[in-house]
Amino acid sequence: MRKTKVSHLMDHFNMKLLSGEEGLGREITVTDLSRPGLQLAGYYSYYAAERIQLFGLTEINFFETLTRGERLERMRFLMQEETPCFCVTRNLQVPEEILEISNERGLPVLQSSLATTTLVGKVTNYLENRLAPTTTIHGVLTDIYGVGVLIMGSSGIGKSEAALELVKRGHRLVADDAVEIRQTQGEQLVGSAPELIQHLLEIRGVGIINVMTMFGAGAVRNVKNIAMVVQLELWEPHKQYERLGLDEETIKIMDTEIPIITVPVRPGRNLAVIIEVAAMNFRLKRMGYNAAVHFSKKQSDMILEDTDSDL
């Protein structure tokens, strides 16, 4: 389970710490947020204590209608051990009972100038990125005509050389050698490069080159959604490779299935052009045109015509 800390959230959104400083190391483990209106009203049957608790104008105004005893009771219930923090929006004045129990329990109360709905959207997106499941795969990630293509294959087969040729043809490099992939809640795979090797490309015999410095800022991207995989493998004379493209294979990365094509490597084959065409063909399929299906249909129609003429 991926986690982040309250201190990271506070720094990212420039929030002001009002109380509970010793709890800044508390961990946030879920992306959902909670506005505990029912609990403030005394309904204790269900409470998502593991979520960040938000107090907006409605919650603060209702809280101020309670007696001091009710306020302390409600806050002692809300500020539980697994609760990461409380966020108060719109720079609202925070009642002293909240700060009192916050310091007592060591639970941070943060103040933001953003409106409640705005903060909900921003924090949710932030947490989805921070807490998304991740993995690292050996390969090269490129952006070809807007299609995120992950090039995979054994070491030394020519992945980086193909990526270099693609960059020279006007496409963009995202990551070389190690691709960090995170899976969003929408089951999208988002790839990026580890910070240490960002924008770098290793070419055997030449060494490490900086693609951004050499080809310009337009030759690189920091992140890209992965749409398809190209698997490079050494040509095997007796293996049957796909020739029409009717059968679409997929590969499972984490919990997401994405299309994969296998490209055999042999001397004289221009891998960069083949990968570029594969990306263009993938775009055409998404737009509703499949050349293989179109060819198969024309072939079937011609066979039917010949059969009818023989009759």
Q: Which residue numbers are catalytic?
A: 138, 159, 177, 243
Are 148 and 221 in contact by the 8 Å Cβ rule? The answer is no
For β-strands 109-111 and 16-19, DSSP reports them as: antiparallel
**Binding site for Mg(2+): which residues?**
160, 202
Q: In whole angstroms, what is the distance from residue 122 CA to residue 182 CA?
A: 19
**Binding site: which residues?**
153-160, 202
Encode the chain in three state secondary structure: CCCEEHHHHHHHCCCEEEECHHHCCCEECCCCEECCHHHHCCCCCCCCCCCEEEECHHHHHHHCCCCHHHHHHHHHHHCCCCCCCEEECCCCCCCHHHHHHHHHHCCCEEECCCCHHHHHHHHHHHHHHHHCCEEEEECEEEEECCEEEEEEECCCCCHHHHHHHHHHCCCEEEECCEEEEEECCCCCEEEECCHHHCCEEEECCCEEEEHHHHHCHHHECCEEECCEEEEEEECCCCCCCCCCCCCCEEEEECCEEEEEEEEEECCCCCHHHHHHHHHHHHHHHHCCCCHHHHHHHHHHHHHHHHHHHHC
**Binding site for ATP: which residues?**
153-160
Q: CA geometry: angle at 229 spanning 256 and 285, to 5°?
A: 90
Q: In whole angstroms, what is the distance from residue 160 CA to residue 151 CA?
A: 9
